[in-house]
């Protein structure tokens, strides 16, 4: 299944449905509309609409179109309805925001979205000085269904997306969660012969699963923690990731938005090396606290060992023993005997009884990104020690 990058980028625009077009509904107040349009333009997004109906408490934005700076054409997403609009501290509170059902087709691929519904959205006043400054925020949102079709076949579908956000207040960090009831993917549409052979051998022609995300962000000191990012596939396993960063402050966010705007404004084919260096400089404001990646097995490992064994005329147990023997030699290149012994023991334990395998990095103290980048260039073999890398198997 081959999908052009431009098509995927168009589909990605649909993720703006719950933020970008909402602000234009305040167009009846020209000053507010102009400020919001200017703020979004600073983030590299243009918004337009064909009309506004209703009153100052309930209104419908008609014919909304959005266009990030990197795109040549705007994407029309239809009408957006706002209900329960009230003035608040120089800004606006919006009780409910709902988009229209959305469909977009290009290059034989069709994206369908059910109405996206947002609850309790706050649009701060110009020059707001709260924890999030002038950034908008909402408390919850739902998307009932999303489907991606290739020709007349459903390649991917997702049901029951739910997002919840607790705004920062009284010195406490913002909290956020996201879940889905289920997603489904039809892997028979994959057209690469080698990939298709592996998919068929493992029995994953059609997969189902769900994902769950949770984290916190303290905008005052920039501590950003993703405590859960789990993607689970039935009869395969769960891949989970976490990270904890420092320095992700409001000033950093504003600088990043400005940098992205400048890079998007560059003509196609232009030299972006100066912007790339500036981006590296911006990233040096961040610090690394910890990160991890973990896989909890639900039969995938055994299936892979069986498949590789059949390819080589060996048993799954022989393949596992072969892998255990190879690991120490591969790890020896790091010249880190302690980590080599740890990885060897963890891999052996996992292959003997596949339950979970986790790689984590947790230095004793926060490490500036500048130090990480310098170490990667001067002595990359020392990075595992700098970051406190460890590996464990079959542990909670």
- The 10s digit of each residue's pLDDT in 221-259 is 999 999 999 999 999 999 999 999 999 998 888 888 777
CB 116 within 8 A of CB 17: yes
| Per-residue confidence (pLDDT) for residue 43, from 0 to 100 | 55
Higher-pLDDT residue of 233, 285: 233
Higher-pLDDT residue of 36, 236: 236
Which one, of 207, 205, 213, lies nearest residue 298 by Cα? 207
Q: What are phi and psi of 152, to 5 degrees?
A: -110, 15
| Per-residue confidence (pLDDT) for residue 34, from 0 to 100 | 53
Q: What is the chain's mean pLDDT, rounded?
A: 85
Q: How much is the pTM?
A: 0.84
- To the nearest whole percent, how much of the chain has pLDDT over 70? 86
Instruction: Write the CA distances from 373 to 37, 52, 263, 369, integer angstroms.
Output: 37, 50, 22, 6
Half-sphere exposure of 366 (CA within 13 A, CB side): 14
Pairing of strands 223-233, 237-246: antiparallel
Backbone CA torsion sign across 41, 47, 51, 57: negative
| Per-residue confidence (pLDDT) for residue 126, from 0 to 100 | 73
Kindly state the average pLDDT of the residues 117-140: 82
Distance, in Å, from the CA atom of 372 to the CA atom of 239, rounded to the nearest integer, reads 25
Tell me: pLDDT of 32 over 80: no
What is the CA 205 to chain-centroid distance, rounded? Answer: 25
């Amino acid at each position: 299944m081959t999908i052009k990058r431009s098509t995927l980028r168009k589909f990605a625009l649909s993720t703006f449905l719950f933020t970008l077009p909402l602000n234009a509904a305040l167009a009846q107040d020209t000053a507010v509309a102009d400020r919001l349009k200017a703020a979004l333009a600073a983030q590299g997004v243009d918004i337009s609409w064909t009309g506004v109906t209703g009153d100052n408490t309930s209104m419908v934005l008609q014919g909304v179109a959005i266009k990030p700076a990197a795109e040549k054409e705007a994407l029309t997403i239809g009408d957006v309805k706002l209900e329960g609009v009230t003035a608040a501290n120089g800004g606006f509170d919006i009780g409910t925001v709902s988009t229209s059902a959305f469909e977009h087709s290009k290059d034989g691929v069709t994206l369908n979205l059910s109405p996206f519904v947002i609850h309790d959205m706050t649009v701060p006043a110009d020059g707001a000085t709260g924890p999030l400054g002038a950034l908008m925020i909402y408390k919850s949102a739902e998307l009932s269904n999303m489907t991606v079709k290739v020709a007349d076949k459903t390649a991917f579908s997702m049901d029951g997306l739910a997002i919840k956000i607790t705004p920062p207040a009284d010195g406490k960090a913002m909290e956020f969660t996201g879940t889905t009831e289920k997603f489904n993917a039809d892997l028979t549409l994959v057209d690469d012969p080698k990939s298709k052979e592996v998919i068929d051998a493992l029995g994953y022609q059609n997969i189902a699963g769900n994902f769950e995300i949770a984290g916190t962000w303290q905008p005052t000191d920039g501590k950003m923690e993703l405590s859960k990012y789990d993607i689970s596939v039935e009869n395969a396993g769960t891949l989970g990731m976490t990270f904890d960063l420092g320095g992700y402050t409001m000033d950093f966010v504003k600088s990043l938005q400005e940098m992205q705007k400048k890079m998007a404004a560059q003509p196609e084919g232009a030299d972006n090396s100066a912007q790339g260096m500036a981006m590296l400089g911006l990233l040096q404001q961040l610090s690394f606290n910890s990160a991890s990646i973990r896989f909890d097995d639900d039969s995938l490992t055994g299936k892979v060992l069986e498949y590789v064994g059949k390819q080589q005329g060996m048993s799954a147990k022989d393949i596992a023993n072969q892998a255990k023997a190879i690991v120490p030699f591969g790890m020896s290149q790091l010249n880190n005997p302690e980590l080599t012994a740890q990885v060897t023991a963890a891999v052996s334990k996992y292959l003997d009884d596949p339950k979970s395998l986790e790689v984590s990095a947790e230095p004793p103290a926060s490490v500036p990104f500048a130090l990480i980048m310098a170490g990667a260039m001067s002595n990359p073999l020392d990075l595992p020690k700098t970051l406190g890398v460890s590996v464990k198997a079959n542990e909670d």
